[in-house]
């Protein structure tokens, strides 16, 4: 049984973007504190920004095999069987495994996002070999 495993950790893979992102987040938190007159607004804002970007700041493990895909993160594990994937939507940083045959706005919420980690072509080839077109 062929298996493809990797860990995606964009924060580590893109150090310049990480520095810029952290700077923007800190400036935003400082601005929120200054405008609202209370440091807690900055702390809450910073926490919300971090949570909204968790998939950038925290490592995510991907495991693909003959049965499907498993995405393990600090927030849990998501699993999709190949039979549930009706179409794929690749972009520069990853691929969305969609349960819909045609593109739809719901795919982002019902599908499974897979992040590349320097292995774009290998991942796409692995997926295309296993989904029914």
pLDDT tens column, 51-110: 999 999 999 999 999 999 999 999 999 999 999 999 999 999 999 999 999 888 888 899
CA 121 to chain centre: 17
Six token digits for residue 93: 């940083």
- pLDDT of 5 reads 96
CB neighbours of 29 closer than 8 A, spacing ≥ 6? 42, 43, 45, 46, 49
pLDDT band, very low/low/confident/very high, at 1 (cuts 50, 70, 90): low
> How far apart are the C-alpha atoms of 54 and 60, rounded to whole Å?
10
Q: Write down the H helix ranges in 14-106.
A: 15-36, 39-52, 54-57
Q: What percent of the chain is helix, strand and coil (3-state, nearest 5)?
A: 45, 25, 30
The answer to whether the CB of 9 falls within 8 A of the CB of 55 is no
Phi and psi at 19, nearest 5°, equal: -60, -45
Instruction: Give Cβ neighbours of residue 53 (< 8 Å, ≥ 6 apart).
Output: 21
Q: What is the pLDDT of residue 133?
A: 54
Share of the chain above pLDDT 90, in %: 89
């Amino acid at each position: 049984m062929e298996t493809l495993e990797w860990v995606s950790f964009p924060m580590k893979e893109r150090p310049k973007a990480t520095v810029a992102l952290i700077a923007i987040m800190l400036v935003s938190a400082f601005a929120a504190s200054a405008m609202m007159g209370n440091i807690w607004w900055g702390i809450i804002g910073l926490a919300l920004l971090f949570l909204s970007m968790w998939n950038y700041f925290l490592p995510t493990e991907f495991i693909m095999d003959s049965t499907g895909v498993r995405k393990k993160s600090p927030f849990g594990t998501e699993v999709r069987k190949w039979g549930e994937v009706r179409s794929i939507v690749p972009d520069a940083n990853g691929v969305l495994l969609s349960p819909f045959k045609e593109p739809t706005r719901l795919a982002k919420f019902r599908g499974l996002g897979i992040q590349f980690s320097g292995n774009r072509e290998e991942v796409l080839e692995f997926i295309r070999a296993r989904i029914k077109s």
